[in-house]
Amino acid sequence: MAETADVVIIGGGVVGTSIAYHLARKRAAKGVVLLEKGRLGSGTTSASVGGVRSQFSTEINIRFSLESVRFWRRFEEEMDGLSADYREMGYLFLAKTAKERAIFIRNIALQNSMGVPSQLLEPKDAERLVPGLFTGDLSAAAYSAEDGRAGPYEATKAFAQRARAAGVRIHEETEVIAIDSTGGRVHSVDTPSGRIETPVVVDAAGPWAGPVGKLAGIEVPVKPYRREIFVSEPFDGLPAEFPNVIDLHAGWYVWREGAGVLMSGVKDAHSSYDTHVNWSGLGQVAEFATHRVPSLARASFGKKAWAGLYDVSPDDHAILGAVPELEGFYVAVGFSGHGFQHSPATGRLMAELILDGRTTGIDISPVSITRFKTGALLREPLTAHAGTMSG
Ligand SMILES: Cc1cc2nc3c(=O)[nH]c(=O)nc-3n(C[C@H](O)[C@H](O)[C@H](O)COP(=O)(O)OP(=O)(O)OC[C@H]3O[C@@H](n4cnc5c(N)ncnc54)[C@H](O)[C@@H]3O)c2cc1C
């Protein structure tokens, strides 16, 4: 492989493939190479449960959601018939303390001011929405009917297929092992099959963003954290359809998954690349699950489970854009558990930044990598992967 490229994207997850697709959409496909060390979508994208919501508590995340939801809704049309299986069943967030209720009220005011139709529910109303939910110890719930889910595998495959058809060169099983960044700018990347000369490199390596940054001599502050998911056998103790339920206080969620239900397991408190499923920890999870949804005591969870890596930045927000210290080096990483749903907006914005030198519609300066030096960190009270159910 002796190649030249205008842009090399490192990482073939939903983020890298969306950037490739959006570069192709701007007629730049022929100069783009995407390198993936495994198979497309085999990184943390394969562990995602595909949640899509606009119920965030910072403006920047809500802007990314609003644009991305518009994209998910027209995905099939945009992708010429390929589907991402997008559906809106709503998200129901649960608060336990008075402080959490107050945060929900503030979040909803911000969301409503930006056009998100979220609303505060009293615990009894939440129970009416999800019969079987124990709400006796809750202080409030937040609900938006326009939140939903899509398929991470389907979306990644569609982005890649359309990018490839337009001329993007995609190489799987091709790891980037070196980046030449002498003299303060990017020159090339090395893989076991050869060198690719390029003036632009995009780090879209998900939980591996840090090691890829290191190849270029750049510190990219993203850390991997293991999170488990358990899926039950067919289960009729909850309605056939109900909103995705997120207990923010506990850091636990339960969603309908086909005829069964899916629930989150432990999220590690320490960073690692470990993705094993700790079946012996299921008891601790079940204890809380049956408190919140007593009928889950009848559900069978013994067969299907997986663990994936959250791609966490120091302030739980993405890190996007150019890296000032190294000309030609860009990052699209650190999505902290919501990179799947924000991949459409991320792809468009990164393509604009790379090709036009600026973005339209959304100002991405708040999520620039420079914030870790200037101290302008973002704050999102109650992130969806917070909570106490950590190992
Ligand atoms: C259990 C779980 C549930 C989740 N649920 C949701 C959800 O409901 N909604 C949501 O929006 N998000 C969710 N997420 C987060 C979401 O999965 C990620 O934010 C998103 O998939 C990140 O995509 P990515 O393309 O950046 O990363 P990845 O999919 O990890 O892609 C990066 C790719 O880079 C490749 N790579 C790494 N190093 C190199 C190298 N040196 N050379 C070449 N290739 C390399 C890797 O092999 C990998 O395929 C969840 C995550 C987990 C773990």
Residue 388, in any domain of the structure = no
Q: Is the pLDDT of residue 388 over 70?
A: no
380: confidence class by pLDDT, cuts 50, 70, 90: confident
Residue 63, in any domain of the structure = yes
Q: Is 37 near ligand 1, meaning CB less than 6 Å away?
A: yes
Q: Is 207 near ligand 1, meaning CB less than 6 Å away?
A: yes
Mutation test residue for ligand 1: of 198, 208, 285, 346, the one with most atoms within 8 Å of CB = 208
Residue 137, in any domain of the structure = yes
Q: Is 346 near ligand 1, meaning CB less than 6 Å away?
A: no
- How many CA atoms, within 13 angstroms, populate the side-chain half-sphere of residue 38? 12
Residue 217: predicted pLDDT: 98
Give the full edge-to-edge strand order of the sheet including 140-144. Answer: 119-121, 140-144, 91-95, 244-247, 252-257, 260-267, 223-231, 304-312
Residue 80: predicted pLDDT: 96
What distance in angstroms lies between residue 183's CA and the mean position of ligand 1's atoms? 31
The domain that holds 99 is classified in CATH as 3.30.9.10
Identify whether residues 270 and 256 lie together within a single domain: yes
Look up the domain containing 336 and give its range. 3-67+152-222+314-374
Residue 2: predicted pLDDT: 59
Q: Is the pLDDT of residue 325 over 90?
A: yes
In the numeric block, which tokens belong to residue 206?
């998900």
Q: Is 266 near ligand 1, meaning CB less than 6 Å away?
A: no
What distance in angstroms lies between residue 90's CA and the mean position of ligand 1's atoms? 23
Q: Is 132 exposed, middle or buried (0-12, 13-18, 19+ CB in 10 A)?
A: middle
The mean pLDDT of the chain is: 95
Q: Is 334 near ligand 1, meaning CB less than 6 Å away?
A: no
Identify whether residues 118 and 156 lie together within a single domain: no
Identify whether residues 108 and 230 lie together within a single domain: yes
391: confidence class by pLDDT, cuts 50, 70, 90: very low
Choose one of 261, 281, 310: the last residue of a domain. Answer: 310
Q: State pLDDT tens for residues 144-203.
A: 999 999 999 999 999 999 999 999 999 999 999 999 999 999 999 999 999 999 999 999
End-to-end CA distance of the chain: 44
Of ligand 1's atoms, which has the minimum distance to the CA of residue 16? 25
Strand 244-247 relative to strand 91-95: parallel, antiparallel, unpaired? parallel
Query: Which of helix, strand or coil describes residue 155?
Result: helix
Residue 149: predicted pLDDT: 97
Residue 382, in any domain of the structure = no
Identify whether residues 300 and 344 lie together within a single domain: no
386: confidence class by pLDDT, cuts 50, 70, 90: low
The domain that holds 364 is classified in CATH as 3.50.50.60
**pLDDT (average), residues 219-243:** 97
Residue 283, in any domain of the structure = yes
Domains of the chain: total? 2
Identify whether residues 218 and 247 lie together within a single domain: no
Q: Is the pLDDT of residue 14 over 80?
A: yes
Residue 46, in any domain of the structure = yes
Identify whether residues 243 and 121 lie together within a single domain: yes
Neighbours of 139 (CB within 10 A): 18
Residue 78, in any domain of the structure = no
Choose one of 310, 331, 358: the last residue of a domain. Answer: 310
Q: Is the pLDDT of residue 385 over 60?
A: no
What distance in angstroms lies between residue 137's CA and the mean position of ligand 1's atoms? 35
- 166 DSSP β-pair partners: none
Identify whether residues 38 and 157 lie together within a single domain: yes
Identify whether residues 46 and 102 lie together within a single domain: no
Identify whether residues 202 and 237 lie together within a single domain: no
Residue 291: predicted pLDDT: 97
Residue 15, in any domain of the structure = yes
Identify whether residues 53 and 162 lie together within a single domain: yes
383: confidence class by pLDDT, cuts 50, 70, 90: low
Identify whether residues 253 and 362 lie together within a single domain: no
Identify whether residues 95 and 204 lie together within a single domain: no
